[in-house]
Amino acid sequence: MLLILMFALFLLTWRRPEAWAAWVHAFAEAGMIGALADWFAVVALFRHPLGLPIPHTAIIPRRKNEIGLSLARFIADNFLHPAVVQQKLESVNLARKSAVWLQSGPGHERVVQTMANLLGWMAGAWQESSVRSFVKRLSRGQLERLDLAPLMGNILDWLVQGGRHQQVLTQALRYAVILLHDHRETIRGNVQRESPWWLPGFIDDRIVQQMLNRIETLLLQMSLDPDHPVRSDFDRILRDWAGDLRTSKELHRAAEEFKRAALENEDLQDYLYGLWMNLVDGMQTDLQSGDSAIRAQLGAFVSSLARELSVDGDMQALVNRWLVDSSIALLEDNRHAVASLVSDTVASWDGDETSERVELAIGHDLQYIRINGTLVGGLVGVIIFAFKHFWA
């Protein structure tokens, strides 16, 4: 429209005798030139002007791949460079900001909902026959390669080296004392039923009472005395068993036979799979209910995590350091691959499509380039006319 306006002014002021007409004519003449020049320059970026194959036109469709590569390099070197990202990450306390966000209503609800959705998706995936078949093949292959006897030996070694086996024994002894105390009457009744008819009941009862008292006392002593001889025997037995599991060919063969029998036992596998699917179904049902216990537990966990992280400066520093280090490590290995997403995407576009996408994205600014070219060209024409008029 400006070009048409300039052309109309050019015609209207052509050879008019008035003094002002010469100035308007110079403005319109230079404005037409500026409008046409900028029109040509803008169009040349995206296509051949008027369809003419003029050299160095249709730049974007012709060089879109090089432009995509240059843009990818620019992003990798200026936005994804480790030094740039590290400086930005170290300038903010991400752990503190995350804790504050998690304590807010929207943040807390969003994280809990995301975790619940993830659990729901995982539970739903188990309903797919293809997923079940894949996991079954994968787990069977891993179990077939598992060397069971040495693994059990290493587990026993881990228990013994940290004294954990004694803690397990202590808890087992305490539990045995409780069970024995709670079921004394049941044991007495069973013994009385199995006793000979000719044995008086009071003698039978006295024997049982003394036996139970002595067993309960022995179990209590063993649970309270860390130096009890039975504990030493238990320690020695576990150490010997751990060594035998790693070295004994007989135990190794027995463990392999047990593993093979378990893998070939379809009833056992169906039973274990049924238990697992009951758990999955229960999880799905709970997550879909309005008063989901799992969702409540997730909410309590997120609240506790946010509360502790918000007041623990040392943990914030540790989390921030981990975020910085992990982000930098990921960027150093993958920043060019991430940036190549730009070049690969641009390379997959058609040349005309690329040109159209870019032109639509910046079309508003392109209009102002044409407007500015027309007006600036007109002003320059007036300046040149003034120079000729006053100094020529």
Residues of the chain with pLDDT > 90, as a percent, come to 8
Pick the closest to residue 279 from 60, 122, 96 (CA basis): 122
Cα separations in angstroms, 93 against 103, 304, 305, 309, 318: 16, 19, 16, 12, 11
**Residue 248: pLDDT above 80?**
yes
Cα separations in angstroms, 349 against 46, 61, 345: 14, 10, 7
Q: Check if the beta carbon of residue 191 is closer than 8 Å to that of residue 208.
A: yes
Q: Check if the beta carbon of residue 250 is closer than 8 Å to that of residue 241.
A: no
What pLDDT, in 10s, does the model give residues 279-317? 888 888 888 888 889 889 999 999 998 999 888 888 989
pLDDT classification of 11: cutoffs 50, 70, 90: very high
What pLDDT, in 10s, does the model give residues 185-231? 776 666 666 555 455 555 556 766 777 778 888 888 888 888 888 88
**Residue 8: pLDDT above 90?**
yes
Who wins on pLDDT, 246 or 309?
309
Q: How much is the average pLDDT of 173-194?
A: 74
* Per-residue pLDDT, 196: 55
Surface-to-core class of residue 164, CB atoms within 10 Å of its CB (0-12 exposed, 13-18 middle, 19+ buried): exposed
Tell me the pLDDT of the chain averaged across its residues: 82
In the chain, the N- to C-terminal Cα span, in Å, equals: 34
Q: Where would I find the beta strands (DSSP E) of the chain?
A: none
